[in-house]
Amino acid sequence: NAGVTQTPKFQVLKTGQSMTLQCAQDMNHEYMSWYRQDPGMGLRLIHYSVGAGITDQGEVPNGYNVSRSTTEDFPLRLLSAAPSQTSVYFCASSLTGTETYEQYFGPGTRLTVT
């Protein structure tokens, strides 16, 4: 089991560029989510998915897009990068979102927008 994998590990973008952060899990988890982690602000939920074809917004969704075409993959798209999106991004998964299960996190993507 690889668990939750994320690519790339580091990325530098210029303002206005777009890119996709990749996330995959091999645990057959229904629930997947994206967080950003900023100093002093903790982990904030961007988008989440309770299964293939179903996504919803979290606390800070603006500027980000997601889709979930398979159980395994949950990519996060930055539509037009802004310096305010400089952060560390974590993908997480859990068995389901309807029961109380722990989340498993990926290693993170450190994104810098100049």
**Least gap, CB of 80 to other proteins (angstroms):** 26
Q: Does position 14 bind other proteins by CB under 8 A?
A: no
Q: Contact 68/52 with Cβ under 8 angstroms?
A: yes
Q: Cα 78–79–85 angle (5° rounding)?
A: 45
CB nearer other proteins, residue 58 or residue 63: 58
Binding mask 23-62 for other proteins (x = CB under 8 A): --------x-x-x----xxxxxx--x-x-----x-x----
CB nearer other proteins, residue 50 or residue 82: 50
Q: Does position 108 bind other proteins by CB under 8 A?
A: yes
Label residue 63 left, alpha or beta by phi (over 0 means left) and psi (-120 to 50 means alpha): left
Binding site for other proteins (CB under 8 A): 4, 31, 33, 35, 40-45, 48, 50, 56, 58, 90, 92, 97-98, 100-108
